């Protein structure tokens, strides 16, 4: 049996194997952001098929500015706890764990939805992919965001989730704070790396008060903005951020990369050969060498052989998949039974479809 089926521990979470479903927006939430029956069924199916840890779609912590899309799940109010309780029960019924990803879309709030939606960010840096310039957050708004994130983590615990994950990746609000490209502030929240990551420390402190010391808080961390040239997030800054997160009590770090302006970096298209897989492995190796907490690698993992090598080479302790599990929710169970050693996903990215999460690739 593959070493990927060995149990592993993240904080107080005992996981049956090393397979993680990375956070994946499914566009299947209720219009107000509540968890839907279709989501309960989707998560239950993944758990029934041997995914050890399921990370939810990003759930937004502050209404309405933090919302990224239609039918996105929300966690900005206590009324959303009941839905996550159902999701946790559906996952726990199969011996899997559920971690709730908490997020704020920041400068990547879509321009078209809702119409006229204001976008806020650490600094007023124009998004070159949309031409939109966000408004700089006031100091007072930043303090209210810290409370919103902490309350969201507290709700994850109240719902019976096994942990929460701070979304510090992909150009959303928290990753835009840590990058010097999107954070040009001159106050205590910008400038030096220490100031740029301060928001994470402040959230961790408050989240601990809301959820207690034992509740695992993970982070999905950008390892690069994904744009060429100087003035962007650097790997030394990422490694230092990972160390700071560890000092603040983070339970595990998932390494990802890319912002919306850097097309094809987060979810690289056309990953079909082993050498294209694991495209953030070098960054994960650097992070893992610097921290003692478990590291999760995401990005283009498709074959059992590459995933095993990632773990045996010490690039990461766990492997996370998104698109392959959209196409084949049963993939991990089939790998366990020895029926396949390769995902059939061709990374066409048709699954980015607000009509609802499924593989939209036309059958040949
Ligand atoms: C449809 C879709 C929705 C996604 N939603 C999220 C999300 O809510 N939060 C997040 O951190 N990443 C999200 N991602 C990124 C994935 O979790 C993952 O980092 C990326 O697709 C690379 O992994 P993969 O090659 O296994 O797909 C999404 C990806 C896809 C395809």
The residue nearest atom 16 of ligand 1, judged by CA position, is 322
Q: Is the CB of 169 under 6 A from ligand 1?
A: yes
Overall pTM > 0.95: yes
d(CA 48, CA 37): 16
Q: Could you give the CA distance from residue 9 to residue 97 in angstroms, rounded to a whole number? A: 11
CA angle 103, 325, 318 (to 5 degrees): 70
Instruction: Determine the residue of 19, 21, 24 to mutate for testing ligand 1's pocket, defined as the one with the most ligand atoms within 8 A of the Cβ atom.
Output: 24
> Of 315, 309, 201, which is closest to residue 247 (Cα–Cα)?
201
Nearest CA to ligand 1 atom 6: 24
Is residue 334 exposed (0-12), middle (13-18) or buried (19+ Cβ within 10 Å)?
Answer: middle
- For 152-191, what is each residue's pLDDT tens digit? 999 999 999 999 999 999 999 999 999 999 999 999 999 9
Both tokens of residue 171?
Answer: 């150009």
Which of 60, 84, 172, 181 is catalytic? The answer is 172
The CB of 260 under 6 Å from ligand 1? The reply is no
pLDDT tens string, the chain, 364 residues long: the values are 899 999 999 999 999 999 999 999 999 999 999 999 999 999 999 999 999 999 999 999 999 889 998 899 999 999 999 999 999 999 999 999 999 999 999 999 887 766 777 899 999 999 999 899 999 999 999 999 999 999 999 999 999 999 999 999 999 999 999 999 999 999 999 999 999 999 999 999 999 999 999 999 999 999 999 999 999 999 999 999 999 999 999 999 999 999 999 999 999 999 999 999 999 999 999 999 999 999 999 999 999 999 999 999 999 999 999 999 999 999 999 999 999 999 999 999 999 998 889 999 877 6
Instruction: Identify the burial level of 156 via C-beta atoms within 10 angstroms of its C-beta, where 0-12 means exposed, 13-18 middle and 19 or more buried.
Output: buried
For the Cβ of 323 lying below 6 angstroms from any atom of ligand 1, the answer is yes
* 220 C-beta closer than 6 A to ligand 1: yes
Classify domain 3-336 by CATH number: 3.20.20.70
Q: Do 18 and 315 meet the contact criterion of CB atoms below 8 Å apart? A: no
For residue 16, the CA-to-ligand 1 centroid distance in Å is: 23
Does the annotation count 232 as an active-site position?
Answer: no
Backbone φ, ψ for residue 253 (5° rounding) = -125, 125
Q: Whose CA is nearest to atom 14 of ligand 1?
A: 24
pLDDT digits (tens, 9 = 90+) for 53-83: 999 999 999 998 899 988 999 999 999 999 9
Is residue 73 within 6 Å of ligand 1 at its C-beta? no
């Amino acid at each position: 049996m593959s070493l990927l089926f060995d149990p592993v521990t993240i904080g107080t979470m005992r996981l049956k194997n090393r397979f993680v479903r990375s956070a994946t927006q499914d566009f299947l939430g209720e219009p107000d952001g509540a968890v839907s029956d279709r989501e309960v069924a989707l998560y239950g199916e993944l758990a029934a098929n041997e995914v050890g840890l399921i990370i939810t779609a990003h759930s937004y912590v502050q209404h309405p500015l933090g919302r990224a899309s239609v039918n996105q799940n929300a966690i900005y109010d206590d009324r959303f706890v009941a839905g996550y309780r159902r999701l946790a029960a559906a996952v726990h019924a199969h011996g899997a764990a559920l971690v709730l990803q908490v997020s704020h879309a920041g400068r990547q709030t879509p321009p078209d939805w809702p119409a006229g939606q204001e976008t806020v960010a650490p600094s007023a840096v124009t998004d070159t992919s949309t031409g939109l310039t966000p408004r700089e957050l006031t100091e007072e708004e930043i303090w209210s965001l810290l409370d919103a994130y902490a309350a969201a983590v507290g709700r994850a615990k109240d719902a019976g989730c096994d942990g929460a994950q701070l979304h510090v990746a992909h150009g959303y609000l928290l990753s835009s704070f840590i990058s010097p490209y999107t954070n040009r502030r001159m106050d205590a929240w910008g400038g030096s790396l220490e100031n740029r990551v301060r928001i994470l420390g402040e959230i961790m402190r408050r989240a601990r008060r809301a959820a207690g010391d034992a509740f695992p808080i993970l982070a999905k961390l950008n390892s690069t903005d994904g744009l060429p040239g100087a003035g962007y997030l650097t790997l030394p800054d990422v490694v230092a951020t990972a160390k700071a997160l560890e000092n603040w009590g983070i339970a595990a770090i998932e390494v990802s990369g890319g912002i919306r302006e850097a097309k094809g970096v987060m979810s690289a298209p056309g990953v079909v050969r082993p050498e294209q897989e694991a495209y953030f492995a070098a960054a994960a190796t650097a992070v893992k060498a610097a921290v003692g907490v478990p590291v999760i690698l995401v990005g283009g993992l498709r074959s059992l052989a590459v995933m095993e090598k990632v773990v045996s080479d010490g690039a990461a302790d766990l492997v996370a998949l998104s698109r392959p599990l959209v196409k084949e929710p049963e993939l991990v169970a089939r790998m366990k039974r020895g029926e396949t050693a390769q995902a059939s996903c061709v990374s066409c990215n048709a699954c980015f479809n607000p009509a609802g999460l499924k593989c939209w690739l036309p059958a040949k």
